[in-house]
Amino acid sequence: MDTRRKFIQQGLLAVTAATLAGVPNSFALADPQRGHKQGKRDDRFNLGVAGYSFVKFGLDESLAMMKRMDVRYLCIKDFHLPLKSTAAEIAAFHEKLAQSNVKGYAVGPIYMTKSKEEIDNAFEYAKRVGVKLIVGIPNKEDLGYIADKTKTYDIRYAIHNHGPEDKLYPNATSIYELVKGLDERMGLCFDMGHNMRDGRDPVADIKRYHTRIFDIHLKNVTSATKEGSTCELGRGVIDIPAFVKMLRKVGYGGMCSLEFEKDMNDPLAGLAESAGYFRGVLDASA
């Protein structure tokens, strides 16, 4: 498996260069509404970017990077579209995304640990933005209140895990055990890297919890320890081909959004390499 992974990684360096140069390549999504398609394989999951990857950049710069990578989905962060945005500001935001052939599919992560008013505001924000998914970090005691909100708004809520430093939600299991008895619109934004840093197996956890995983922060990490850090998708300890195989086995139909934190001042090269690697794994296993 290590030899196979290295072969894919090395072969995709050329793909990354082509992506950065803006040259069309065979790994581009043929249709952003249908997922990745290759031969007889038609995956229902799509490649996106978690907005936090662009925390140091404005919207125009972020969209320019997405265009160069040919990635068409964005999880919207409030530094690009503030929570108090007006209807006119939201419309202008969506128009700018459309001009770059990008769709905002969710909002967040949004922290909601101070008051129920933050929860109320988040659901109203998602409704105004026109998305059906909120990625959030709430207090455990508010989960029942949030479940009621998901019913009222018909908006899914995905709790984000943040690894061993996170006292509330370090891994996928910690979230699943809390939401499994709540409304089916309550689930996980599965950060596979942080899950691995907490000593868990991302492949096994996709299998265990896939019915409640609504979004994936797609990344790799340097080690399965607290000290592990984000790295390019093909260069870490998570077995990405095995991960993709499990996504297909369970019929995952949500987003796989790249989140790259290795170099927040210059994320394009790492994101592009990761996008190329992911598409290459899909094609190699089609």
Confidence of residue 106 (pLDDT cuts 50, 70, 90): very high
The position carrying tokens 């996928």 is 172
pLDDT of 45: 79
Chain segment 38-73, per-residue pLDDT in tens: 444 567 679 999 999 999 999 999 999 999 999 999
Instruction: Tell me the pLDDT of the chain averaged across its residues.
Output: 89
pLDDT of 109: 98
Distance, in Å, from the CA atom of 138 to the CA atom of 156, rounded to the nearest integer, reads 14
Please check the confidence at residue 22 and state whether its pLDDT lies above 80: no
Distance, in Å, from the CA atom of 286 to the CA atom of 240, rounded to the nearest integer, reads 14
pLDDT of 143: 98
Chain segment 161-207, per-residue pLDDT in tens: 999 999 999 999 999 999 999 999 999 999 999 999 999 999 999 99
Please check the confidence at residue 24 and state whether its pLDDT lies above 50: no
pTM: 0.87
b/e per residue 43-81 (b: at least 16 CB within 10 A): bebbbbbbbbbbeebebeebbebbebbbbbbbbbbbebb
Q: Give Cα 165 to chain centroid, integer Å.
A: 20
pLDDT of 13: 47
Distance, in Å, from the CA atom of 118 to the CA atom of 159, rounded to the nearest integer, reads 15
Amino acid present at 243: F
Residue 109, preceding bond cis, omega within 30 degrees? yes
pLDDT of 230: 96
Query: When comparing pLDDT for 16 and 243, which is higher?
Result: 243
In the beta sheet, which residues pair with residue 137? Answer: 111
Nearest of 104, 148, 103, 144 to residue 125 by alpha carbon: 104
Spell out the domains of the chain, with CATH numbers in brackets.
2-284 (3.20.20.150)
Structure-token pair, residue 7: 């072969």
Q: Where are the beta strands (DSSP E) in 113-249?
A: 133-138, 156-160, 186-191, 213-218, 220-221, 230-231
Phi and psi at 74, nearest 5°, equal -135, 130
Chain segment 214-270, per-residue pLDDT in tens: 999 999 999 999 999 999 999 999 999 999 999 999 999 999 999 999 999 999 999
Nearest of 114, 105, 165, 166 to residue 135 by alpha carbon: 105
